[in-house]
A = this chain, B = another copy of it.
Amino acid sequence: MLRFSKRVEYGLMALLELDASANGGYLPVKDIAERHEIPQDLLGKVMQALTRAGYVASTKGMHGGYRLVQPLERVTVGKVIESLEGPVYLTPCCDDSKSCRQQDHCNIRRPILRVQEHLLRYISQLTLAEFREGDPRPIEMNIGEQCV
């Protein structure tokens, strides 16, 4: 399954919401969750992870919440995914520490590593700024026009 997890989706939504509602102040999880119908507790966990990753900062207490610490231009989709669900590996063996029982006779390891390398390069250069509403820049890959 090649799918974004809900954690990642919620993280991206929250970061964009913080960016859009930026008034210098802090926005509490409750508000973000209500605006986007996200389960509050779960979003709480996601925000905690984003805090540890250094993309947002928090204050407790009344009028507390989260605020962006970096401009979206410096937040990449790759890093967000990595923060929320660990390193991106297309296959177990891409993680050097792990292996699989097919490894010794595997005829797809190298090509898959190359695919992964390029997937990583793509999501590492794709910033959340390009997710802003009405962002004009198309997300292009220049891989030719033969789209099946």
A interface residue numbers (CB < 8 A to B): 1-5, 9, 12-13, 16-17, 20, 35-38, 76-79, 81, 85, 88-91, 101-102, 104-108, 111-112, 114-115, 118-122, 124-126, 130-131, 133, 135, 138-144, 146-148
Which residues in B have their C-beta under 8 angstroms from that of A37?
101-102, 104-105
Q: When A91-B9, A108-B12 are in contact, do A142 and B142 touch as well, CB less than 8 Å?
A: yes
How far apart are the CA atoms of A17 and B108 in the complex, in Å? 10
**Chain B nearest CB: distance from A47 CB in Å?**
16
Contact at B121–A141, with CB atoms within 8 Å? yes
Contact at B139–A141, with CB atoms within 8 Å? no
Contact at A146–B118, with CB atoms within 8 Å? no
8 Å CB contact of A107 from B16, B112, B139: B16
Which residues in B have their C-beta under 8 angstroms from that of A89?
3
15 contacts between A and B (CB under 8 A): A2-B2, A4-B112, A9-B91, A9-B108, A9-B112, A13-B107, A36-B102, A36-B106, A38-B102, A115-B139, A118-B140, A120-B147, A125-B143, A125-B144, A125-B146
